[in-house]
Amino acid sequence: MIEVGGFTINLFRIKANRPSVEVVYINLQDNFEINSTIHRLEHKYECIAGPQYSSYRGLEPGVYFVCNEYENLTSDNIKYSFKTVNSSSYVMKYLELKAIARKVQELGGEGKLFLPRNWFAYSQITCCRSEALEYSEPYKLFALRPCLVLRVEHLLVDDEDRLYLLADLKFKRFSSLTLSNIVEILMKKGYDIPRLNELLQAHYYTCIDKENKVSCIVNKVEDDKVEVIIRNERRSLSTNDVMLNPHPKHTRDFIEKKLGEKISKVEEFQRVLGVQRPKRKVNDIMRYVKELLMDNGVFPIRLSNVEYTLELAPQIIVPMRGEVR
């Protein structure tokens, strides 16, 4: 999208209501020790923590974090001190992103947002609208949802520290191809157990085993349980914990012809939405940032003594004269 004198991009300013923020600091120099300390603070003490691996703009190497309570840290002999740093400094991008993630996770638990399985990974958050734009028919085994992919970035603008939310929009297709749903549909169509097991054994599956997602082979279904093979070991799992992989062609034929689920309409809608002009995409990103984040109360966010708000206006990059060819 080209505006008069510049380019509009999907970058939104995060503004702090105070110039400095009060944080807790642990002086560390080793990167491995910094990362392991962050993991301990977040998983044992429910803190929000960020790394600083080298000196930068007044920040010393170590771990910067905020917690609701500090008494447990003292009792566990964790040495820390209090610091006041720029509320938009580099390390705050990590704390801001993790604060957003906590609110997004709460909204996912309440059903206000739909969160993919790997919704928080590699310093980015993926959250989707809970209500789908389109469902496949007649069983709604596939759903098309608008999803925001979010990162928090630190930029220097005229030697001023600033935080920005980088937001992208993806239209993602999700399936509910649990073995329980598939078995229910096939049994309603009149398939007996031997024929049902014969049909199911020809496909690829993933299953949840001890909270991990792994590949498995379906051996046979009995009531609401299924015998699967994981790494050459036979296991009995709930049919709710085994999912059909829909990608191979013969599996797609099975979904369309045996189950009778029509997925081409959802796929076509996804293709149409995926081809957008830049102007429309930026406008759609703003709309979903407002709907998914601001209307749901993700912003404003409070960290320590500072409240962070989001400016719902994309940034405009103005090229310097003579730089455009």
Determine the Cα–Cα distance for residues 223 and 238; give it in Å rounded to an integer.
9
The tens digit of pLDDT for each residue in 35-49 reads 999 999 999 999 999
Percent with pLDDT over 90 in the chain: 78
236 and 275 inside one domain: no
Q: What is the pLDDT of residue 11?
A: 94
The tens digit of pLDDT for each residue in 260-287 reads 999 998 999 999 888 877 788 899 999 9
The answer to the question of residue 15 being in a domain is no
111 and 153 inside one domain: yes
Residue range of the domain that includes 226:
179-245
pLDDT tier at 255, thresholds 50, 70, 90: very high
78 and 26 inside one domain: yes
Q: Which residue, among 242, 204, 202, 205, has the nearest Cα to 222 in the 3D structure? A: 242
- Out of 55, 86, 117, a domain closes at 86
The answer to the question of residue 252 being in a domain is no
- Out of 44, 62, 86, a domain closes at 86
- Over 80: is that where the pLDDT of 3 sits? no
Looking at the 3D structure of the chain, how many domains does it have?
3
Cα Dmax for the chain: 74
The tens digit of pLDDT for each residue in 296-323 reads 999 999 999 999 999 999 988 776 554 3
Percent with pLDDT over 70 in the chain: 96
- Over 70: is that where the pLDDT of 2 sits? no
Q: What is the pLDDT of residue 122?
A: 80
Residues 6+ apart with CB under 8 A from 15: 308, 309, 310, 311
The answer to the question of residue 71 being in a domain is yes
DSSP string, 269-304: HHHHHHS--HHHHHHHHHHHIIIIIITTT--SEEET
Is residue 65 within 8 Å of 47, Cβ to Cβ?
yes
Q: What is the pLDDT of residue 319?
A: 66
Determine the Cα–Cα distance for residues 269 and 173; give it in Å rounded to an integer.
10
The answer to the question of residue 74 being in a domain is yes
The tens digit of pLDDT for each residue in 174-220 reads 999 999 999 999 999 999 989 999 999 889 999 987 777 899 999 99
Least confidently predicted of 16-30, 84-98, 236-250, 297-311: 236-250
30 and 102 inside one domain: no
More confident: 165 or 78: 165
Q: What is the pLDDT of residue 74?
A: 77
216 and 80 inside one domain: no
Q: Is 310 strand, coil or helix?
A: strand
The answer to the question of residue 11 being in a domain is no
100 and 165 inside one domain: yes
pLDDT tier at 161, thresholds 50, 70, 90: very high
68 and 106 inside one domain: no
213 and 72 inside one domain: no
The answer to the question of residue 258 being in a domain is no
Q: Which residues pair with 153 in a beta bridge?
A: 164
Residue 204's domain is classified under what CATH number? Answer: 2.30.30
72 and 220 inside one domain: no
Q: What is the pLDDT of residue 207?
A: 92
Q: What is the pLDDT of residue 238?
A: 92
- Over 80: is that where the pLDDT of 152 sits? yes
Overall pTM surpassing 0.85 (yes/no):
yes
